[in-house]
Structure 1
Amino acid sequence: MSDDNTPRNDPDFEPPFNKLPIVVVALFLLTAGIEAVLSLGEAGLVGGPSAIGWRLALVRDWGFSGDLFDAMIAQNYWPLHHLARLITYPFIHLSFTHTLLAVVLMLALGKMAAEVMGQFAMLALFMLSGIGGALAYALLLNDPVWLVGAYPSVYGLIGGYSFLMWRKLGAAGGKQMQAFSLIGMLMGLQLVWSLFATVGNGWVAELSGFVCGFLFCFICAPGEWARILQRLRRR
């Protein structure tokens, strides 16, 4: 027998995922699903003894390597499997905690970007920022450490958020530099954390992802493409 007082029958009750755009839910399920399988394998709950090596194998097979990309440039040889690493590495993480923060930021910033720019533009922003971050990591550094994790893509979403704030502050006559307070705080936290632990060079990919996300919004943000065409016509 059902109870009329249960939340399900409350006209104001809405399941949490109903409020999230489909593309954000899909990215969340893909990222969280991969991590769930890897974590269960490491705990010995699925896959048997060989499951302990699943994460390392996934990094090797689908993570992004700057050295591998440099070799592709040197040989002018571009196999699709290795090019695919540019779009697969954001869905592989080093641990549950590594995944957790990325997923939280993805849900919050992805929802905002999808609602303002549209779901297709949000997905493009996420993927292109990840690609841009990986390319910068390979071209600017000579780091043998493999790049994995959604953070360059998430930082691209932060770039989208900063762009919208930058445009809003500009329209209101405010200080547009305030739009970069979030990225400034995150980079500052990384600097402080580096004093106590080795953080590696992943911040290069993350900052590059932010720049790519910010610049991409000049095309995909609402009204920006029309402004560009208008300026071109004036010339």
Structure 2
Amino acid sequence: MSDEHHDFRPQSPFNALPPMVIAIALVLGGIEILFQLGTLGLIGGQQAVGWRIAAMEDYGFFDTVFEAMRAQGVWPLEHVRRFFTYAFVHYSITHALMVIVFILALGKMVGETFGNFAVLVIFILSTLAGSLAYGLILTTNVQLLGAYPAAYGFIGAYTFILWLGLGAMQENQLRAFTLIGFLMGLQLVFGLLFGGSPDWVADLAGFAMGFVTAALMVPGAIGRIRARLQRR
């Protein structure tokens, strides 16, 4: 009988995730837990019941506010921060959980490929791209909330990874866009059935930013772009 010792202790699933992905998920999840505990009256007293609504008003992105800042040429910090803070407030626990699942799943691949810093950069830039597109393209009174544009940014980066891989195997690179095509189609179907939401514009902008950012993080990419521009 073998004397070899086998360690059958279960490994934590978080060990396989890049630290920055875990950090983002914990922040998003932690904020949602606070809202849930406040709603249940377990913390914060009576005022805590309205924490989510107050956060929506104070940190959500409003096209009307954006247009007012553009018209007046005044950019107060309390409103400029909305370009980013909207990502940390969700409509419900279901809304937050879906975002977190996307970020954990796609962020893992992005983090393993490009590193922790890339995860943070893609999260920030995709969040910004989402709010800018929402404000510049749309005219709406519906506020933008939730980290879906950032999640779509990770989908964009993941799509770029697939695009490179398919190219290396000399296969059809358009297959890399199957996931985003499916998700956009799903949003269209839900919109037709239950009423559309304009936030798909922000999601698509987040996707595009994630794809471009991932492309620029490939070693030597910026140098090649600069050389190409100089030849024109």
The two structures share one fold, judged by TM-score above 0.5:
yes
Residue 122 (structure 2) aligns with: 125
Q: Equivalent residues in 2 for 1:86-165 (5 A)?
A: 86-165=83-162
**2:15 matched to 1:18?**
yes
Residue 47 (structure 1) aligns with: 44
Rounded Cα–Cα distance in structure 2 between residues aligned with 1:93 and 1:110: 19
**2:207 matched to 1:210?**
yes
Q: 1:140-179 CA distances to partner (integer Å, 9 max, x unpaired)?
A: 0111111110101100110101111111111211111101
Residue 167 (structure 2) aligns with: 170
Residue 66 (structure 1) aligns with: 63
Structure 2 stretches lacking a partner, 5+ long: none
Alpha-carbon spacing, 1:222–1:101, altered in 2? closer, same or farther (3 Å): farther
Rounded Cα–Cα distance in structure 2 between residues aligned with 1:136 and 1:234: 31
> Structure 1 counterpart of 2:160, which letter?
F
SS in 1 for 2:42: coil
> Structure 2 counterpart of 1:42, which letter?
T
Alpha-carbon spacing, 1:223–1:13, altered in 2? closer, same or farther (3 Å): farther
1:223 CA displacement: 5.1
1:227 CA displacement: 4.3
**2:210 matched to 1:221?**
no
SS in 2 for 1:196: helix
**Conservation of the 8 A alpha-carbon contact between 1:116 and 1:222:** no
Structure 1 stretches lacking a partner, 5+ long: none
SS in 2 for 1:221: coil
Q: 1:31-88 CA distances to partner (integer Å, 9 max, x unpaired)?
A: 0000001011112222222212110100111111111111111111111221111121
> Structure 2 counterpart of 1:118, which letter?
G
Larger CA deviation: 143-152 vs 220-229: 220-229
Rounded Cα–Cα distance in structure 2 between residues aligned with 1:61 and 1:193: 29
Residue 33 (structure 2) aligns with: 36
Rounded Cα–Cα distance in structure 1 between residues aligned with 2:134 and 2:43: 34
Rounded Cα–Cα distance in structure 1 between residues aligned with 2:86 and 2:8: 41
* Number of corresponding residues: 228
SS in 2 for 1:195: helix
Alpha-carbon spacing, 1:177–1:114, altered in 2? closer, same or farther (3 Å): same
**Conservation of the 8 A alpha-carbon contact between 1:125 and 1:157:** yes
Larger CA deviation: 72-81 vs 147-156: 72-81
Q: Over the residues paired in the alignment, what is the CA RMSD in angstroms?
A: 2.0
Larger CA deviation: 78-87 vs 178-187: 78-87
**Conservation of the 8 A alpha-carbon contact between 1:117 and 1:222:** no
**Conservation of the 8 A alpha-carbon contact between 1:155 and 1:206:** yes
Alpha-carbon spacing, 1:222–1:104, altered in 2? closer, same or farther (3 Å): farther
Rounded Cα–Cα distance in structure 2 between residues aligned with 1:162 and 1:129: 14
**2:168 matched to 1:186?**
no
1:128 CA displacement: 0.3
Q: 1:96-122 CA distances to partner (integer Å, 9 max, x unpaired)?
A: 000111000011111111110111111
